[in-house]
Amino acid sequence: MSEEVLTSVEDGILVVTINRPEAKNAMTKAAAEGIAAAMDRLDADDSLRVGILTGAGGTFCSGMDLKGFLRGESPSIEGRGFGGVVQKPPVKPLIAAVEGYALAGGLELMIACDLVVANKDAKVGIPEAKRGLVAAAGGVMMLPDQIPERIAMELALTGDFISAERAYELGLINRVTDGSAFQGAKELASRIIANGPLAVRVSKQIIKESRGWSMDERYDRQAQLIGPVFMSEDAREGAAAFAEKRAPNWKGK
Protein backbone atom coordinates (compact mmCIF):
# COMPACT_ATOMS: atom_id res chain seq x y z
CA MET A 1 0.00 0.00 0.00
CA SER A 2 1.19 3.52 -0.75
CA GLU A 3 2.98 5.45 2.02
CA GLU A 4 0.54 8.23 1.16
CA VAL A 5 -2.04 6.17 3.04
CA LEU A 6 -1.29 4.52 6.39
CA THR A 7 -3.37 1.82 8.06
CA SER A 8 -3.49 0.40 11.55
CA VAL A 9 -5.85 -1.80 13.52
CA GLU A 10 -7.20 -0.91 16.96
CA ASP A 11 -9.78 -3.13 18.69
CA GLY A 12 -11.54 -4.20 15.50
CA ILE A 13 -11.26 -0.74 13.92
CA LEU A 14 -9.31 -0.22 10.69
CA VAL A 15 -7.78 3.25 10.88
CA VAL A 16 -7.03 4.69 7.43
CA THR A 17 -4.93 7.87 7.44
CA ILE A 18 -4.29 10.06 4.41
CA ASN A 19 -0.60 10.79 4.88
CA ARG A 20 0.31 13.87 2.86
CA PRO A 21 0.43 16.52 5.62
CA GLU A 22 2.87 18.69 3.66
CA ALA A 23 0.15 19.09 1.01
CA LYS A 24 -2.81 19.31 3.42
CA ASN A 25 -3.61 15.71 2.41
CA ALA A 26 -4.55 16.71 -1.13
CA MET A 27 -5.67 13.59 -2.98
CA THR A 28 -3.40 11.92 -5.50
CA LYS A 29 -3.80 8.81 -7.61
CA ALA A 30 -1.53 6.89 -5.24
CA ALA A 31 -3.53 7.97 -2.19
CA ALA A 32 -6.78 6.98 -3.90
CA GLU A 33 -5.32 3.55 -4.64
CA GLY A 34 -4.27 3.23 -1.01
CA ILE A 35 -7.75 4.07 0.28
CA ALA A 36 -9.37 1.65 -2.18
CA ALA A 37 -7.09 -1.13 -0.98
CA ALA A 38 -7.92 -0.31 2.64
CA MET A 39 -11.66 -0.46 1.91
CA ASP A 40 -11.20 -3.89 0.33
CA ARG A 41 -9.35 -5.02 3.44
CA LEU A 42 -12.06 -3.67 5.72
CA ASP A 43 -14.77 -5.65 3.98
CA ALA A 44 -12.73 -8.83 3.52
CA ASP A 45 -11.43 -9.23 7.08
CA ASP A 46 -14.05 -10.56 9.53
CA SER A 47 -12.02 -9.30 12.48
CA LEU A 48 -12.50 -5.72 11.28
CA ARG A 49 -15.86 -4.22 12.17
CA VAL A 50 -15.62 -0.47 11.48
CA GLY A 51 -13.33 1.83 9.49
CA ILE A 52 -12.18 5.32 10.42
CA LEU A 53 -10.92 7.62 7.66
CA THR A 54 -8.81 10.55 8.82
CA GLY A 55 -5.90 12.76 7.78
CA ALA A 56 -2.40 13.32 9.14
CA GLY A 57 -1.09 16.64 10.41
CA GLY A 58 -4.33 18.26 11.55
CA THR A 59 -6.15 18.34 8.19
CA PHE A 60 -8.68 15.84 6.86
CA CYS A 61 -8.30 16.49 3.12
CA SER A 62 -8.02 19.69 1.09
CA GLY A 63 -9.35 18.10 -2.09
CA MET A 64 -7.74 17.10 -5.35
CA ASP A 65 -4.00 17.67 -5.72
CA LEU A 66 -4.02 20.50 -8.28
CA LYS A 67 -0.39 19.92 -9.27
CA GLY A 68 -1.32 16.38 -10.20
CA PHE A 69 -4.38 17.67 -12.05
CA LEU A 70 -2.16 19.95 -14.16
CA ARG A 71 -0.01 16.91 -15.00
CA GLY A 72 -3.11 15.10 -16.21
CA GLU A 73 -3.43 12.84 -13.16
CA SER A 74 -6.86 11.84 -11.85
CA PRO A 75 -7.14 10.95 -8.15
CA SER A 76 -9.95 8.52 -8.90
CA ILE A 77 -10.27 4.77 -9.29
CA GLU A 78 -12.47 3.34 -12.03
CA GLY A 79 -15.73 2.12 -10.55
CA ARG A 80 -14.88 3.59 -7.15
CA GLY A 81 -14.55 7.29 -7.89
CA PHE A 82 -12.60 10.04 -6.16
CA GLY A 83 -10.33 8.88 -3.39
CA GLY A 84 -11.14 5.26 -4.18
CA VAL A 85 -14.32 5.41 -2.12
CA VAL A 86 -16.97 8.01 -3.07
CA GLN A 87 -18.75 5.84 -5.66
CA LYS A 88 -18.29 2.55 -3.84
CA PRO A 89 -18.06 2.89 -0.06
CA PRO A 90 -17.38 -0.23 2.00
CA VAL A 91 -20.16 -2.54 3.12
CA LYS A 92 -19.07 -2.07 6.73
CA PRO A 93 -19.53 1.25 8.55
CA LEU A 94 -17.02 4.01 7.78
CA ILE A 95 -16.55 7.03 10.05
CA ALA A 96 -14.83 10.26 9.00
CA ALA A 97 -12.70 11.89 11.72
CA VAL A 98 -12.28 15.49 10.57
CA GLU A 99 -9.69 17.94 11.83
CA GLY A 100 -8.87 21.20 10.10
CA TYR A 101 -10.30 21.34 6.60
CA ALA A 102 -12.53 19.02 4.57
CA LEU A 103 -12.74 20.95 1.33
CA ALA A 104 -13.73 20.14 -2.26
CA GLY A 105 -12.91 16.46 -2.73
CA GLY A 106 -12.20 16.33 1.00
CA LEU A 107 -15.81 17.18 1.75
CA GLU A 108 -16.88 14.61 -0.82
CA LEU A 109 -14.79 12.00 0.97
CA MET A 110 -16.37 13.07 4.24
CA ILE A 111 -19.96 12.77 3.06
CA ALA A 112 -19.25 9.40 1.44
CA CYS A 113 -18.63 8.11 4.98
CA ASP A 114 -21.57 6.84 7.02
CA LEU A 115 -20.87 8.94 10.10
CA VAL A 116 -18.80 12.07 10.73
CA VAL A 117 -17.06 13.33 13.86
CA ALA A 118 -15.38 16.73 13.57
CA ASN A 119 -13.35 19.00 15.83
CA LYS A 120 -15.11 22.26 16.65
CA ASP A 121 -12.52 24.26 14.69
CA ALA A 122 -12.96 22.26 11.46
CA LYS A 123 -14.20 23.91 8.27
CA VAL A 124 -15.98 22.22 5.37
CA GLY A 125 -17.01 23.34 1.91
CA ILE A 126 -16.96 22.81 -1.85
CA PRO A 127 -14.99 25.79 -3.23
CA GLU A 128 -14.53 24.33 -6.74
CA ALA A 129 -16.42 27.19 -8.40
CA LYS A 130 -13.72 29.56 -7.14
CA ARG A 131 -11.28 27.65 -9.39
CA GLY A 132 -13.63 27.38 -12.36
CA LEU A 133 -14.44 23.76 -11.51
CA VAL A 134 -17.46 21.76 -10.32
CA ALA A 135 -17.66 19.51 -7.24
CA ALA A 136 -17.89 16.50 -9.54
CA ALA A 137 -16.94 13.78 -7.04
CA GLY A 138 -20.44 13.73 -5.63
CA GLY A 139 -20.59 17.12 -3.93
CA VAL A 140 -23.31 18.70 -6.08
CA MET A 141 -25.25 15.43 -6.15
CA MET A 142 -24.80 14.10 -2.62
CA LEU A 143 -25.04 17.29 -0.59
CA PRO A 144 -28.73 17.88 -1.49
CA ASP A 145 -29.42 14.35 -0.20
CA GLN A 146 -27.90 15.22 3.18
CA ILE A 147 -28.78 18.88 3.81
CA PRO A 148 -31.51 21.25 2.54
CA GLU A 149 -31.23 21.92 -1.19
CA ARG A 150 -30.96 25.69 -0.84
CA ILE A 151 -28.05 25.37 1.58
CA ALA A 152 -26.33 22.91 -0.76
CA MET A 153 -26.94 25.35 -3.62
CA GLU A 154 -25.39 28.20 -1.65
CA LEU A 155 -22.30 26.17 -0.81
CA ALA A 156 -21.86 25.08 -4.43
CA LEU A 157 -22.43 28.49 -6.01
CA THR A 158 -20.48 30.63 -3.52
CA GLY A 159 -17.74 28.16 -2.66
CA ASP A 160 -17.89 29.42 0.93
CA PHE A 161 -16.85 27.31 3.92
CA ILE A 162 -19.01 26.55 6.94
CA SER A 163 -17.97 25.69 10.48
CA ALA A 164 -18.29 22.30 12.14
CA GLU A 165 -20.99 23.74 14.38
CA ARG A 166 -23.02 24.91 11.38
CA ALA A 167 -22.53 21.54 9.67
CA TYR A 168 -23.76 19.85 12.85
CA GLU A 169 -26.86 22.07 12.92
CA LEU A 170 -27.58 21.07 9.32
CA GLY A 171 -27.22 17.36 10.13
CA LEU A 172 -24.14 16.98 7.94
CA ILE A 173 -22.02 15.67 10.79
CA ASN A 174 -22.90 13.60 13.85
CA ARG A 175 -20.69 14.93 16.62
CA VAL A 176 -18.52 17.96 17.32
CA THR A 177 -15.59 17.51 19.70
CA ASP A 178 -13.59 20.00 21.73
CA GLY A 179 -10.57 17.72 21.48
CA SER A 180 -9.49 15.01 19.09
CA ALA A 181 -11.98 14.12 16.38
CA PHE A 182 -10.20 10.79 16.04
CA GLN A 183 -10.82 9.91 19.67
CA GLY A 184 -14.46 10.89 19.23
CA ALA A 185 -14.66 8.65 16.16
CA LYS A 186 -13.10 5.75 18.09
CA GLU A 187 -15.71 6.11 20.83
CA LEU A 188 -18.49 6.09 18.25
CA ALA A 189 -16.94 3.06 16.54
CA SER A 190 -16.81 1.19 19.85
CA ARG A 191 -20.55 1.69 20.27
CA ILE A 192 -21.14 0.15 16.84
CA ILE A 193 -18.79 -2.75 17.52
CA ALA A 194 -20.81 -3.64 20.62
CA ASN A 195 -23.70 -4.62 18.32
CA GLY A 196 -24.30 -7.61 16.07
CA PRO A 197 -22.19 -7.32 12.89
CA LEU A 198 -24.86 -8.81 10.62
CA ALA A 199 -27.48 -6.45 12.00
CA VAL A 200 -25.15 -3.47 11.56
CA ARG A 201 -24.27 -4.38 7.98
CA VAL A 202 -27.85 -4.95 6.86
CA SER A 203 -29.12 -1.85 8.68
CA LYS A 204 -26.59 0.23 6.76
CA GLN A 205 -27.54 -1.47 3.50
CA ILE A 206 -31.26 -0.80 3.95
CA ILE A 207 -30.73 2.84 4.91
CA LYS A 208 -28.56 3.39 1.84
CA GLU A 209 -30.63 1.47 -0.69
CA SER A 210 -34.23 1.98 0.43
CA ARG A 211 -34.43 5.58 -0.76
CA GLY A 212 -34.51 4.19 -4.29
CA TRP A 213 -37.29 1.70 -3.55
CA SER A 214 -40.92 2.41 -4.41
CA MET A 215 -43.42 2.52 -1.55
CA ASP A 216 -45.09 -0.64 -2.84
CA GLU A 217 -41.92 -2.73 -2.74
CA ARG A 218 -40.20 -1.42 0.38
CA TYR A 219 -41.30 -3.99 2.93
CA ASP A 220 -40.88 -6.91 0.56
CA ARG A 221 -37.35 -5.86 -0.33
CA GLN A 222 -36.50 -5.23 3.31
CA ALA A 223 -37.81 -8.69 4.23
CA GLN A 224 -35.41 -10.30 1.75
CA LEU A 225 -32.48 -8.63 3.51
CA ILE A 226 -33.50 -9.02 7.14
CA GLY A 227 -34.72 -12.62 6.90
CA PRO A 228 -31.21 -14.11 7.19
CA VAL A 229 -30.41 -11.75 10.09
CA PHE A 230 -33.42 -12.92 12.12
CA MET A 231 -32.49 -16.56 11.42
CA SER A 232 -28.82 -16.11 12.30
CA GLU A 233 -26.80 -17.49 15.21
CA ASP A 234 -26.17 -13.90 16.26
CA ALA A 235 -29.91 -13.23 16.63
CA ARG A 236 -30.22 -16.18 18.99
CA GLU A 237 -27.08 -15.14 20.82
CA GLY A 238 -28.42 -11.61 21.28
CA ALA A 239 -31.64 -12.90 22.81
CA ALA A 240 -29.79 -15.36 25.06
CA ALA A 241 -27.34 -12.70 26.24
CA PHE A 242 -30.22 -10.39 27.14
CA ALA A 243 -31.99 -13.13 29.08
CA GLU A 244 -28.79 -14.13 30.86
CA LYS A 245 -27.80 -10.51 31.57
CA ARG A 246 -24.38 -10.80 29.92
CA ALA A 247 -22.53 -9.28 26.99
CA PRO A 248 -23.19 -11.11 23.69
CA ASN A 249 -20.48 -13.09 21.94
CA TRP A 250 -21.03 -12.21 18.29
CA LYS A 251 -19.88 -14.58 15.56
CA GLY A 252 -21.07 -12.64 12.53
CA LYS A 253 -23.19 -15.55 11.31
pLDDT along the chain (253 residues), means of 10: 87 97 94 96 96 97 85 88 95 98 96 97 95 89 95 96 97 96 97 95 94 91 93 92 91 87
pLDDT at position 86, please?
95
Alpha helices in the chain (DSSP H): 29-44, 66-70, 105-112, 139-146, 149-158, 164-169, 181-193, 197-209, 218-230, 233-243
Phi, psi of 7 (to 5 degrees): -130, 150
pLDDT at position 68, please?
79
Positive or negative CA dihedral for 168, 173, 177, 179?
negative
Rounded distance between C-alpha atoms, residue 186 and residue 52, angstroms: 8
pLDDT at position 73, please?
83
**Burial status of residue 53 (CB atoms within 10 A of its CB: 0-12, 13-18, 19 or more):** buried
* 22, 33, 128, 169: the active-site residue: 128
pLDDT at position 2, please?
60
pLDDT at position 212, please?
86
Structural element, H or E, at residue 176: strand 175-177
Rounded distance between C-alpha atoms, residue 105 and residue 120, angstroms: 20
pLDDT at position 69, please?
75
Question: Is this model's pTM higher than 0.85 or not?
Answer: yes
* 108, 187, 209, 233: the active-site residue: 108
Q: Is 128 a catalytic residue?
A: yes
pLDDT at position 41, please?
97
Phi, psi of 41 (to 5 degrees): -65, -45
| 242: helix, strand or coil | helix
Rounded distance between C-alpha atoms, residue 6 and residue 95, angstroms: 16
